[in-house]
Each structure stands twice: as structure tokens, then as C-alpha cells.
Structure 1
Amino acid sequence: MQAAEPKRVLVTGATGCVGRYLVDELLRQTAHELVLVVRDPSRLPDLGAARGRVSVVQADVADVADYKDRLGPVDSAFLVAAAWGGPETDPVNLTANLALTDHLAANGGRRVYYFATGSVLDHEHQLLKAAFDLGSPYVRSKYRLVEEIEKRAGAIEVVGLFPTIVVGGGADGMPRSHFANLMYQVKPYFRLVCSLSAEGKLHHVHARDIAAAARHLLDSETADAGRGNRIVLGNPAVTIDQLIAGLRSYFGYRFLPRLKLRDGLAEFFIRTFRIQLSAWDRYCMEHRDMSHRDPTSPATFGLPVHAPDIGAQLASIGIRP
């Protein structure tokens, strides 16, 4: 692909896991100028020689009215900032994203890429009603965001990016994703996990690969690069047993016995260890195929994949055999 004409690109959530990788990707691989809305600029990395291409707007991303006039002209935006729960959930995940989209549409912006979550889509990329009915406040806010922001498509190009299970951060100095933190918590029990067998299907993806795919979309001639206005970000789906096989191979646990984790046994563990499950947790237990058709990764565009499997992903976050 030819080098894209330099753009002025807004990025929210630039100090989080995916946001940091995205900023790094855009500064290394493009000539674009970046506008970063951050609450605490001290959490940004040293920008070095790229400092002249970055404008930092110090503000709470939810207070769009207070900072929108400081953004200046923006061609495209990546709306990455997210609140995972609490009173900020709707103001950040829903209200701010809609307000920023409206502002850009009214002031010459061409494209908005908003981040949602693969949890709100079914296999065919249609909105999953159960996500709204049973999901956490975070999941429900993302569901509503998809509904509302797609109504703006007549005023500005709108493309949704729906990450699946995100791995990243830690060993390379980037903030760790929630799943990476979970892997560190589970690390003492990997041998037990590797002795289990279970039904289910899912996608996982490294945050650096999300950034590479997002950068390609930004620099393509059409906003969605032919992938549609709902793009699920993930490597090809794997079964739970394939994932466990990858763990066994990575840690050298090839000859462990296997125990089938059937519903009754799962319920036994839940009761014994007093695990609290939400209605959404129960739904996910009962609907174990969380795969999506046509997932998108750098490989989709002929680009190298940073971490194509669970072993490479664990190594990337500093978990060694």
C-alpha cells in the first residue's frame, strides 16, 4: 500500500492498553498528526522525535463540551476510551462517543472508528439482544452505542470495531489488558487448567494486532476496507480444547490426564468455591460458541500477525514456561 496522505487523527483512551498500542502504531507506521484527549498526560510515553506530530488535550473524555473547541480540525477519529463500570460507564462509553461523533460530523470530519466489544454481536454480526437484557453495565452501554452511533452514518463515515478477547501489555511496557491481568492471576493454576477439557469456541487477539488492523483501515481508500461497518477484531476462532492444547504445548504439559468439564462438575466448582455468577455469566456458560464469521486481523490484509496463538500471546505479556 502506498503511504497514505497525512491526516489529523483524534484518539481517545490513548493511555489504556489498546490506545497505547494504537498511538505507537500510528506514530511508527504513518505520518499522521495525532490529537490525544487524556485526563493525565503523565501516563503517555516519551514521544521523542514524534512529539511535534502530537497535540495533547488534557481533559476528562466525558466532558466533550469543555474541550471540543480545543480539538481543532480532525479528519478521522478512533474512539477507544472506555469505562468498565460505575457511574462513568454511560457518560464515557455512550454519551461522549455520540457527542464527539456529532461534533466531528458538523466540523468536516470524514471518519469515526468507535470501539465496542464482540460480546454485543452474534455470529452473523447482528446485535445480540441478550447482551442488552443480561449484560453488565459496560456491555449494555456498548450495545446502546452501536444502536445510536450507526444512526449518524448519513452525516459521517462510521465503522464499529468489535474486539474479542484482548491480550497485551506488560513485558513491552504497555498497560496490560484485562485478560492479561487475568492470566497472571490464573498463572499458579495453569497446570490444573491444562488438565481440563471443555466445550466452547472463541477468538482472541493481541492489542498490537488490533492496532495494526486499525491503522490499515484508516489508511485504506474506504473506511471499512470492504469489511462492512461492523468489524470483529480477532484471530480465527479456536475451540476451548484447542486453546488448552496450546497452553499444554507452551508449558510442556503434553501428558497430563484430561478431565471433561461437564455442566454438573462446573456447578460443583461454582458451589464449592462460592463463585458469584451474574445473569450474563450464566448466559455465556449456556451459549459457549462465542465465534463470529469473518473475524479481522492483520492477516486479513496480508500483514504480519504479531501474536497469532495463545503461546505467542503469553510470551508477549511476560508469562514464560
Structure 2
Amino acid sequence: MPKKVFITGASGCVGHYLIEMLLAKTDYELYLLMRDRRKLQIDVRDRANVHIIEDSMQNIHKYQDLLRTMELVVSTAAGWGGEEAFVVNRDQTIALFSFLDPQVCERAIYFSTASILDSHNQIIPEAGAIGTAYIASKHACLEKLESSTIRDRLITVFPTLVFGGAVDKPYSHLSRGLKDILKYVPYARFLKTDGSLHFVHAYDISQIVTHLLTSNLEVRSPARLVLGMQRLTVQDLIAQFCEYLNIKVGWQFDLQPWLVDAVIKLFRIEVAAWDRFCIAQRHFTYDVVSPETFGLTSKYPRLANLLAETSKK
């Protein structure tokens, strides 16, 4: 019998890549929760193993009986701000995982965010204390899930900066804004600052998640996987952007943290506590995994791969 997998946030950027890959590589029965089926850009009309559930996470309790039959669950749904963030990201997500039957469920994958972790992949208390509604709700949810009845089969994935999208898939927030970001590169190339980050493409995320759903990989609780490519410094980022635009980097002004703080004070710029914390932190780097970690091959290992895709839009 094909295994059953329940996927929330199925009509989103990552959801599209994951559904496409699961259909290509497995015979799983897919149960796709989405608020608006018209947003699904994959033609599943002739797919008897695809079941679309047009509803929101707020009504997840209506599917308790169905969830108890699921061997696999992937929760990508997210509320981005305000009270909805706590309702979806904390309350309803905790409810979703509580409905799973420990005697049936084999693997549960929860999408969190790398923003709530430090460089050693440990939860930072500031995420819960001063984080935005999105950050604080993700922080609260993880603490509950890692002490739940399915914690021994729970894998939490923490995407770093997510890119992705195509003519037949919705774009991530970053990919939608990438062309606008490029407009500022001719000015940003004159600035130098200390900082670093990771990125990951939705295609490579789906590769990893598909592997987790189809392999017998043993996990140690709490299982935390931060998804990202190799570390990029801000200077690497600017240099690669400039190379793509065929402009020279040249002389750079060293933008020290104290100067940023002085500008904020001088112009009386309102900065939230979480934003100030992030400005001070500067390095958003982690102990990451990529498709290569699991013997797979990244399709977007470098920024150049992303920029090449941008030029095709």
C-alpha cells in the first residue's frame, strides 16, 4: 500500500517543488492542504493519488481522523504577522502534530526558520522574548513539538534565505525582490561591512525533504537540520552581484556597526528590538546541511546559479 503524506502550505513556493518531486519519485498518496486550490499551478486532475483539501490551518481540527491515518506529515504552512502568526504557527501547528497517531506516523517534518537559532543550532532566547510575531510564534511552537509524543520521529528543518520560483511555480519573497535588490548593487558596491549568511533554493529543499520521507535515516531527538549552502560573506555577495552586472567593486567605505547606530540615532529612525538585535548580530551562519550531505547534488549550490535563473525571468 502506498504511504499517505499530509502536506500543509502546499500551494506555496516550497510546496510546489515538493509536490512535483514526490509525484516524480514516489507513489505516495498526497493530501494537500491549501486555502485556495486555484493557486496550485501543478495539473493534478488526472492524478488519482492526489487529494486537495481546500481549507485553512485554522480548521485543522476538522481533519483529526484523517491525520491519524497518516504515515508522513510535512508542515510548511506559515502565518507571517499579527495574531494570525500565533494562531497558525503555534496553536494550529501544535494541534496538527497532536492529532498524529504514534502507532501509525513514521516521520513528521516541521518547517521552522533558522532565525531562531544561534551559530551552533541552539535556540536563542531573544527569539521568544523580542522576536516579531512570526519569529516568536516559531520559537514557541518548536519548544512544544520537541517535547510532544511524536518527538522521536520529528525532524525540524530550518531553511536559511529561501529562493525559488518559475513561470509554473510561485516565487519566494526573496526571489520576487531579487531584481529590485540588483538595482541597488551599483551603490552598495562602495560599502564594506562585516557579515555573513547562507541561502538555499526551494528545489534543493525539496530534494532533502523527499529524501527524508523516502529513506530510513535514523534521527536523534531533537533532530534539527538547518538547510543552506556554503557560507557567504557580505563582501562575497556584493562581489558576485557585481560580477553578474559586469561592474567593478572598486573603493569601499567601511561601514562599522557604531556608524550604523549613530545614523539610527541621528535621524531618529525607529528600530524594533528584534531588528536591533539582528543588526548587532551581523553573522547569520549555522551548521548547515545541503543535498550533498545526503549523497545528492545541489542544483543551486552557488549564487551564480540563482542569478542565471533570474536573467531568464
Does the TM-score normalized on the shorter chain lie above 0.5? yes
2:230 corresponds in structure 1 to: 236
Aligned counterparts of 1:234 and 1:155: Cα–Cα separation in 2:
23
Identify the match of residue 209 of structure 1 among 180, 191, 204.
Answer: 204
Shift of 1:38: 1.1
Question: Which residue identity does 1:241 align to in structure 2?
Answer: Q
Using the size of structure 1 for normalisation, the TM-score is 0.89
1:197 corresponds in structure 2 to: 192
1:297 corresponds in structure 2 to: 290
Contact 1:172 1:316 in 2 (8 A): no
1:281 corresponds in structure 2 to: 275
Q: Deviations over 1:144-169 (max 9, x none)?
A: 11100011155651110001111111
- Structure 2 gaps of 5+ residues are none
Aligned counterparts of 2:236 and 2:221: Cα–Cα separation in 1:
27
Question: Which residue identity does 2:239 align to in structure 1?
Answer: A
Please give the secondary structure, in 1, of the residue aligned with 2:7: strand
156-165 or 260-269: bigger deviation: 260-269
Shift of 1:315: 2.8
2:260 corresponds in structure 1 to: 266
Aligned counterparts of 1:264 and 1:156: Cα–Cα separation in 2:
45
Compared with structure 1, are the counterparts of its residues 223 and 93 closer, same or farther at alpha carbon in structure 2 (3 Å cutoff)? Answer: farther
1:39 corresponds in structure 2 to: 35
Aligned counterparts of 2:236 and 2:4: Cα–Cα separation in 1:
42
Aligned counterparts of 1:214 and 1:49: Cα–Cα separation in 2:
24
Identify the match of residue 313 of structure 1 among 301, 306, 311.
Answer: 306
Aligned counterparts of 2:252 and 2:245: Cα–Cα separation in 1:
15
Identify the match of residue 67 of structure 1 among 63, 66, 78.
Answer: 63
Q: Deviations over 1:218-277 (max 9, x none)?
A: 1121254x7960110111212111122221222212343322222244346656887542
Please give the secondary structure, in 2, of the residue aligned with 1:88: helix
The within-5 A match list for 1:38-187 is: 38-48=34-44, 51-70=47-66, 73-105=69-101, 108-153=104-149, 157-169=153-165, 171-187=166-182
Contact 1:161 1:231 in 2 (8 A): yes
Aligned counterparts of 1:255 and 1:38: Cα–Cα separation in 2:
45
Compared with structure 1, are the counterparts of its residues 259 and 212 closer, same or farther at alpha carbon in structure 2 (3 Å cutoff)? Answer: same
Aligned counterparts of 1:66 and 1:98: Cα–Cα separation in 2:
15
Shift of 1:181: 2.9
- Structure 1 gaps of 5+ residues are none
Question: Which residue identity does 2:9 align to in structure 1?
Answer: G
Question: Which residue identity does 1:233 align to in structure 2?
Answer: L
Compared with structure 1, are the counterparts of its residues 317 and 73 closer, same or farther at alpha carbon in structure 2 (3 Å cutoff)? Answer: farther
Contact 1:79 1:113 in 2 (8 A): yes
Please give the secondary structure, in 1, of the residue aligned with 2:51: strand
Shift of 1:67: 2.9
Using the size of structure 2 for normalisation, the TM-score is 0.91
Question: Which residue identity does 1:200 align to in structure 2?
Answer: G
Aligned counterparts of 2:235 and 2:50: Cα–Cα separation in 1:
44
The share of aligned pairs that are identical, in percent, is 34
Aligned residue pair count: 313
Question: Which residue identity does 1:58 align to in structure 2?
Answer: E
45-54 or 34-43: bigger deviation: 45-54
Shift of 1:108: 1.9
Please give the secondary structure, in 1, of the residue aligned with 2:146: helix
Contact 1:165 1:205 in 2 (8 A): yes
2:242 corresponds in structure 1 to: 248
Alignment RMSD (CA, Å): 2.5
Contact 2:61 2:96 in 1 (8 A): no
Shift of 1:136: 0.3
155-164 or 277-286: bigger deviation: 155-164
Aligned counterparts of 1:155 and 1:189: Cα–Cα separation in 2:
44
